[in-house]
Amino acid sequence: MNPSDHIYQTLKTALIELFEIEPERIRPDADLYTDLNIDSIDAIDLIDHIKRVTGHKLLAEDFRSVRTVQDVVDAVNRKLAPA
């Protein structure tokens, strides 16, 4: 499994477990705010969860322009990529 697929699966599991979102609603192009009804507090909880799972420090600023599930995957990939 490539890193993007792993991040996507981790994110999908988190969205299901933390926010009780139906799995079929979670797609790469799903908008976090309009399609999945994630609010700003939920987004902070999601970032915190990803930090704990990955073991890498992630900042809210890294996710300011994030809108879709794929945007989150891409943002996490950027943070985890070797410098």
Q: Contact at 8 Å (CB) between 70 and 12?
A: no
Domains of the chain: 3-80 (1.10.1200.10)
pLDDT of residue 53: 85
pLDDT of residue 83: 60
Q: Which residue has the tokens 């979670």?
A: 26
CA distance 44 to 53: 14
pLDDT of residue 40: 85
Quick: pLDDT tens for 56-83: 777 778 778 899 999 999 988 888 776 6
Confidence of residue 50 (pLDDT cuts 50, 70, 90): confident
pLDDT of residue 43: 87
Q: Which residue has the tokens 């970032």?
A: 47
Q: Which two tokens stand for residue 20?
A: 């009780």
Quick: pLDDT tens for 30-44: 999 999 999 989 988
β-sheet bridge partners, residue 68: 31
Q: Which two tokens stand for residue 19?
A: 């926010």
